[in-house]
Structure 1
């Protein structure tokens, strides 16, 4: 468990991200893909059902012993909450109500956030736009680990710890890498979230709150579904910075595994991304992809060639401008 990762820096490139050019080529050859863009009419009902299920679970766990609270938080509640974070990911692209109803999408994301226990949706949207626009951008894309993470979490045991602590790094990294002014939507998100948390505590006590928050933290850490964090953009093969996953967990995660397709067409909801792959098969079938998120986590921990440094980075003009201002 002591072998160190062989990489000592990120993979620096001096080219634009590949998704822009591939999008142009695919749309020129298959213009019918434009018909896949637009809202998913089922998303709001699926998400509403998941939120209600979690509120029902809060009532059901209020009298359980602590060991069963944490068991159900990891085995069930956290899976639902992680799925809701990926619904929020989809909603951040305005696919719940469409681009013409941007505010409805933001408010609905706050609603989807409620079982997560911690205000998340408004901040996620603020930074996720940069992730798409400046993929791998130094100082802009906060999805990329810091230099400290790449240096310190470089042995199997440390990488395992890093996976467990992923929620902490994802929440704190933006404040260090690319701090932004708090928005009114973030304040609204926090007020609504904490109001619901207090209400649940008043009605049913502390255990349901622990059930929700512990589930969120545990299942966004060392959990099979969390394999998508590593699978999406960690460089398993040199020269490839985005990977799709074509496995059964897509059913629970709003097809976030179709990640190459998503970055090519972020305005297409997850439910239609398999159709993108089917229509433009020659663009995707020969690209490297994953079949198992559990295998992704295993390889990340035990492969000496892979670690937090295994990310493609590039300098973007906006970042250079920030440094000179």
Structure 2
């Protein structure tokens, strides 16, 4: 239970420079929509043709993998719309949010509320559970009943987290309003669900239900798996920052609690620069197309340690927060050190 309100963290001198990158550019916005939606639609046409003309389903799946990557990029636009950063117009952001939300099976207002709460509680040990990956401390895990420990181990299993997880989240969970959802959030879920039903009915009439399913499901699962992986490594890495509510420092949450995921150029394009997550948490109103420019212009942002693609897979072993030593540890290391009565070490 929180006992006091944390004092606002002192902003660094260079913080004010961030505001000049938080200005939406309609030309950049429209170009991003064109270079993403057009090839996405073209891939759908190609996939429909491969199914209807009896080509090997492997060809369809290969095209679906590419389309899934583009759907990740569309979700980044959706994400920017939730922060009112993609367009200067609130109405334009809302329209984009609902359209991209239908394509990604995600209700705009409902996800927006949950995500904005995530920004307000990221790195806060006393307020976990809002739009984040379930993370237990070592002490909580050791004192939990076996049923809860089993549930946590299953949840943290990569086959479930990145396999069944995307299917459950986008096909089931997103169909239901989040806890404490208000009228606008519930309405957005209803609008999205009705829109999806209409889309499925129209697609079934135009190309056939099973043709639609054979394309939509792999595209959505590829995008969902990539999306959940990105969200995982953004806040689950060695050196991450967590603190109790009264000690939480918002600047540290951004610079130490959010990763700089340095990806190869093609993957950085697909993921809409979201790997520069430390900048996003420092100043959420910066649109995705300005993040790289911001990074290159402000030297302190470049001094944040980066996470490479190869090193990011080691994050899968980090499953519990060792509060005493302020680090993430694995199940085996936590058990071993606990039995020996030694301080926990990473791994």
Same fold at TM > 0.5: yes
- Matches of residues 92-107 of structure 1 in structure 2 within 5 Å? 92-98=82-88, 101-107=89-95
State the Cα distance separating 1:57 from its structure 2 match.
2.7
TM-score by length of 2: 0.68
1:200 to 199, 203, 216: 203
Distance 1:114 1:168 in 2: 15
- State the match for 2:342 in structure 1: none
Q: Does 1:161 align with 2:160?
A: yes
- State the match for 1:219 in structure 2: 223
Q: Does 1:36 align with 2:29?
A: no
- How many aligned residue pairs are there? 282
- State the match for 1:69 in structure 2: 60
Moved more, 106-115 or 173-182: 173-182
Provide closer, same or farther for how the CA distance between residues 199 and 95 of structure 1 changes in structure 2, counting only shifts above 3 A: same
State the Cα distance separating 1:264 from its structure 2 match.
0.4
- Matches of residues 96-245 of structure 1 in structure 2 within 5 Å? 96-98=86-88, 101-116=89-104, 118-137=105-124, 138=127, 141-145=130-134, 152=151, 154=153, 158-168=157-167, 170=169, 172=173, 178-181=179-182, 182-206=185-209, 207-221=211-225, 223=226, 227-237=229-239, 239=241, 240-245=256-261
1:281 to 299, 317, 326: 299
Distance 2:22 2:108 in 1: 22
Provide closer, same or farther for how the CA distance between residues 142 and 135 of structure 1 changes in structure 2, counting only shifts above 3 A: same
State the Cα distance separating 1:164 from its structure 2 match.
1.6
Provide closer, same or farther for how the CA distance between residues 238 and 29 of structure 1 changes in structure 2, counting only shifts above 3 A: closer
- State the match for 1:57 in structure 2: 43
Say if 1:144 and 1:311, in contact at 8 Å, map to a contact too.
no
Structure 2 spans left out of the alignment, 5+ residues: 137-146, 242-255, 324-347
Task: Map Cα deviations across residues 230-286 of structure 1 (whole Å, 9 max, x no partner).
Answer: 22111412544211112222111111011000000101111111233233312x333
Distance 2:6 2:84 in 1: 25
Higher relative contact order (CA 8 A, sep 6+): 1
State the Cα distance separating 1:47 from its structure 2 match.
2.3
Distance 2:293 2:5 in 1: 29
Q: Does 1:291 align with 2:290?
A: no
Structure 1 spans left out of the alignment, 5+ residues: 1-11, 313-325
State the Cα distance separating 1:110 from its structure 2 match.
1.8
